[in-house]
Amino acid sequence: DSGVTQTPKHLITATGQRVTLRCSPRSGDLSVYWYQQSLDQGLQFLIQYYNGEERAKGNILERFSAQQFPDLHSELNLSSLELGDSALYFCASSARGGSQETQYFGPGTRLLVL
Amino acid sequence: GNSVTQMEGPVTLSEEAFLTINCTYTATGYPSLFWYVQYPGEGLQLLLKATKADDKGSNKGFEATYRKETTSFHLEKGSVQVSDSAVYFCALSDLTGNQFYFGTGTSLTVIP
Question: B33: which residues sit within 8 A by CB, 6+ positions away?
Answer: B23, B25, B49, B50, B51, B57, B64, B66, B73, B90, B91, B92, B93
Higher pLDDT, B96 or A12: A12
Q: Which residues of B touch A98 (CB under 8 A)?
A: 97
What residues contact residue A24 under an 8 Å CB cut-off, 6+ apart?
A: A4, A5, A6, A72, A73
* Mean pLDDT score across all residues of chain A: 94
- The predicted-structure confidence for B57-78, as pLDDT tens digits, reads as follows 999 999 999 999 999 999 999 9
Distance separating alpha carbons of residues B64 and B55, to the nearest angstrom: 8
List pLDDT tens digits, range B69-108: 999 999 999 999 999 999 999 999 987 777 788 999 999 9
- Name which residue leads in pLDDT, B1 or B20: B20
Residue of B89, B93, B94, B95 to mutate, testing the A interface (most A Cβ within 10 Å of its Cβ):
B93
For residues A71 and A83, what is the distance between their CA atoms, to the nearest angstrom? 33
Average pLDDT over residues B34-53: 92
**pLDDT digits over A53-90, tens only?**
999 998 899 999 999 999 999 999 999 999 999 999 99
So what's the pLDDT on residue B100? 84
Predicted confidence at residue B71, as pLDDT, reads 95
| pLDDT at residue B91 in the model | 94
Closest residue to B43, CB basis, from A45, A90, A97? A90
pLDDT for position B8:
83
- pLDDT band for position A96 (50/70/90)? confident
Nearest to A42 among B95, B100, B102 (CB): B102
CA atoms of A22 and A39, how far apart (whole Å):
22
The radius of gyration of chain A from alpha carbons, rounded to an integer in Å, stands at: 13
DSSP state of B97: S
Q: Which residues contact A9 (CB under 8 A, 6 or more apart)?
A: A107, A108, A109, A110
Q: What's the pLDDT at A41?
A: 75
Q: Return the number of CB contacts < 8 Å for A and B.
A: 61
Cβ atoms B34, B90 nearer than 8 A: yes
Strand partners, A27: none
Residue B29: pLDDT band (50, 70, 90) is confident
Out of A4, A48, A100, the one facing B32 most closely (by C-beta) is A100
